[in-house]
Amino acid sequence: MSASASDQLFARAQQLIPGGVNSPVRAFRSVGGAPFFTRSAQGATLTTVDGRELVDFVCTWGPAIHGHNHPRIKAAIADALERGTSFGTPNPYEVEMAELIVSFFPSVQKVRMCSSGTEATMSAVRLARGFTKRDKIIKFAGCYHGHSDSLLVAAGSGALTHGYPDSAGVPAAFARETVVLAFNDPAALDAAFAANPGQIAAVILEPYIGNVGFIRAEPGFLQHVRAATARAGTVLIFDEVMTGFRLSRGGVQELEHIVPDLTCLGKIIGGGLPVGAFGGRAEIMDHLAPLGLVYQAGTLSGNPLALAAGIAQLRLLDEVKPYARLDALGSQVCAAAAAAAKAKGLPLQTPQCGSMFSLFFNENPVRDMPTALASDAKLFGRFFRACLDGGVYLPPSAYEAWFLSTAHEGPAIARACDVITDAIAGL
C-alpha cells in the first residue's frame, strides 16, 4: 500500500523541520498517528492534500470566526496587495485598526500593533515592569501567553500537551521572577500579594482559559483579581488573544464588566494573517518608546495585508452580529456530546461560552489546570481518531479549546454532531 500524500510530506518535513512541524501541537503526538497536510480551506471545511474534506473545529486556532477564505476578507487582502506587501513606514490601515480596537474595547485608550500574540504579551509585561519599576509578575497555571521566557512557566497549550510545562532554555533567574498560582483561587492570589509586598509589577491571565482546554472563570474571581491588583498598584493584563472579539464584541472584559489596565489581542484582528496588539490606559501606554523609556519595535508591525484582513473581519462582525448564533452552535455540539456520553455511561464535562468550548472526559467539573489534567487524555485520543476517521477535525490535544465559526451553521454542524455522537458511542 503506497503512502498517502500527507505521509509523504510528513516524511520529508521530518528531515528538515524539528519534529516535522512548525508548532508542536500539530505533530499529533498526544492523540496518535501522523498529521495530515491541508491543501485548502473554505467555510467550515478543510481539504487535505489527499482530497479528504473535514469539518474543522480548530478554525486556525481562533481567527476564522467567519469561516475560512471568506470572500470579503479575501477581497480586502487582494485590494491591499495591489498597493504593496510592506512599507517600513506608517500606513493608513494602522490608524483605522487602532480606531476599531478602541471602539470595541473601551478599556483600550491607546494601542500598539505587533506581529504575534507572543510579542503582545511579552511587550505588555515589559511595559508593566517599566511603568511600575517592579520585577515580579503573577501568572496562573495553565494560562499560555506565548513562548517568551518570563511566561513559559507552568504554561498550557503545546507545552502542556507534550509534557514540558517548563521549557528547557528558560533561565532559572527568569522563572524566579514569575509567581505561578492556581486559576480560580482568590485566596492564593491574596497570599501571593502578602508574601511579595510592593514587588508585583503585573498580574497576567487569560480571563477564560483556552490553552488547557476551555475553562471559565468562576463567579467573582476576575472581580477579585481586579480589586487586588488595584489595591497593590499592580498592572492587570488580560490576555484576550483567543477570547477577544470571539466571545463578545469586547471580549471577556465586556462579559464580566471588568476594566483591565492592559489588554493583549491577536488572532481575529489579522483575519488569518500573523498579527498581535496590546493596548490600555494611555498613562501606561505612553511609557513606550518613542514617548517613554520602554523599548518595543517590529519591522512588520502594522503590516498592511494583515490589517486589511483584520479590518474587514471586524467590520463584518459588527454587520452580522454573530454572537447569539455562535453560542447556539456551541450549545448544540455540547448537548449532543453530553447526551451521547450519558447514554454510554461515560463521564464528560462540556464547559462552553459562545464559540469556544471543550470536552473533558472527567467525572468532576474542570476549574483549573490540575482538574483539567485529571481528565482521561488517552480516551480523548481514541475519540479524536474516531472523529477524524468520520471526517471531523478536532484540536489534536485533550488540552486545547475548540472553536466554531458562522460557516458551521447548517449541514456542517449537523454532520459534526452525528460524527461526535457516533465516536462517543464507539468508545
Q: What is the DSSP string of 285-297?
A: HTTBTTTSSB---
Look at residue 175 in the predicted model and tell me its pLDDT. 74
Q: SS3 breakdown of the chain: % helix, strand, coil, rounded to 5?
A: 45, 15, 40
pLDDT at 150 over 90: no
Set of cell numbers at residue 286? 505612553
pLDDT reported for residue 159: 45
Looking at the predicted structure, is the pLDDT value of residue 163 above 70? no
Q: What is the pLDDT of residues 353-366, one digit of tens each?
A: 999 999 999 999 99
| pLDDT score of 160 | 41
Set of cell numbers at residue 142: 495553565
**3-state SS class at 26:** helix
Helices (H), 56-146: 71-81, 92-104, 117-132
Which three cell numbers mark 111?
494601542
With a cut of 50, say whether residue 337 has pLDDT above it.
yes
**Is the model's pLDDT at 156 over the cut of 60?**
no
- pLDDT (average), residues 237-243: 98
- Per-residue pLDDT, 161: 41
Amino acid at 310: G
Structure confidence at residue 164 as a pLDDT band (50, 70, 90): very low
From the CA atom positions of the chain, what is the Rg in Å?
Answer: 21
CA distance 238 to 363: 30
Name 360's bridge partners: 349
CB of 159 closer than 8 Å to CB of 144: yes
Greater model confidence, 238 or 157: 238
Whether 144 is catalytic is: yes
Can you tell me which residue has the cell 487586588? Answer: 228
State the average pLDDT for the chain: 94
Chain centroid, CA 397 distance in Å: 14
Q: How many other CB atoms are there within 10 angstroms of residue 298's CB atom?
A: 15
Taking 90 as the threshold, does the pLDDT of residue 90 lie above it? Answer: yes
Residue 155 Rama label (left phi>0; alpha psi -120 to 50; beta): beta
Out of 267, 327, 368, 376, pick the active-site residue.
Answer: 267
The C-alpha cell of 265 is what?
Answer: 489581542
Looking at residue 391, what is its pLDDT? 98
d(CA 123, CA 280): 12
pLDDT tens, position by position, 271-330: 999 999 999 999 999 999 999 999 999 999 999 999 999 999 999 999 999 999 999 999
Domain edges within the chain: 5-65+322-425, 71-319
| Active-site pick, 136, 185, 208, 239 | 239
Is residue 5 pLDDT above 70, yes or no? yes
C-alpha cell, 56: 474543522
User: Is residue 251 a contact partner of residue 245, using CB atoms and an 8 Å limit?
Assistant: yes
**Which CATH class for the 71-319 domain?**
alpha beta
**Which range, of 2-16, 68-82, 239-253, averages the lowest pLDDT?**
2-16
- Residue 224: how many other CB atoms lie within 10 Å: 17
CB 402 within 8 A of CB 44: no
Instruction: Indicate if 71-319 has the same CATH topology as 5-65+322-425.
Output: no
For residue 166, pLDDT beyond 60: no
Could you confirm whether domain 5-65+322-425 is CATH 3.40.50.150? no
As a whole number of angstroms, the distance between CA 5 and CA 261 comes to 49
> Does residue 95 register a pLDDT over 90?
yes
Among 108-112, 165-169, 421-425, which is the least confidently predicted range? Answer: 165-169
Determine the 3-state secondary structure of 113 from DSSP.
strand
Residue with cell 532559572: 172
Determine the average pLDDT of the residues in 155-175.
Answer: 57
Number of H helices, E strands in the chain: 15, 14
- As a whole number of angstroms, the distance between CA 195 and CA 33 comes to 46
Nearest to 351 by CA among 370, 339, 342, 338: 338
Q: What is the mean pLDDT of residues 197-224?
A: 97
Measured between its terminal Cα atoms, the distance across the chain in Å is 28
The answer to whether residues 158 and 23 touch, using CB atoms and an 8 Å cutoff, is yes
Classify residue 55 as left (phi > 0), alpha (psi -120 to 50) or beta. beta
Given the residues 144, 323, 393, 399, the one annotated as active site = 144
Q: How many CB atoms lie within 10 A of CB 348?
A: 22
- Beta strand 235-239 pairing with 262-266: parallel
Question: Which three cell numbers, joined as nine digits, stand for 288?
Answer: 513606550
Residue 155 pLDDT greater than 80, yes or no? no
